[in-house]
Amino acid sequence: MQSFGCQMWDAAFAIQAILACNVSEEYGPTLRKAHDFLKASQVVENPSGEFKAMYRHICKGSWTFSMHDQGWQVSDCTAEGLKVLLIISSYINVNYFCRFFKIYMHGMT
């Protein structure tokens, strides 16, 4: 079986490490790119067709182990993705975060 890698998983822990070490100002451009990656990695729609007949779950709003193209949501990755967003929220402008957070929460309603 071929793996797609573990980009989302690795990115979530790398972001947490950068923020925990109080070096976020030095890594500003990296954190902006990480933000873009998290946004691009979230699954924004459910699988096409009769996905329930194929024993697939609703995955809109989740994160996968690697990238959204892989399509299989993972609860741990979704938790880490959301956790990183909440941690980032304490480092950025509240108004900006509210707009940012709505984008991510849109699929989870």
Given the residues 10, 36, 69, 76, the one annotated as active site: 76
Helical packing angle, 75-89 and 7-20, nearest 10°: 30
Terminal-to-terminal C-alpha distance of the chain: 33
Q: How many CB atoms lie within 10 A of CB 6?
A: 16
Q: Residue written as tokens 């954190």?
A: 31
Is residue 36 annotated as a catalytic residue, yes or no? no
Please, are residues 66 and 5 in contact by the beta-carbon 8 Å criterion?
Answer: yes
Q: How far apart are CA 104 and CA 43, in angstroms?
A: 9
- The catalytic residue positions are 76
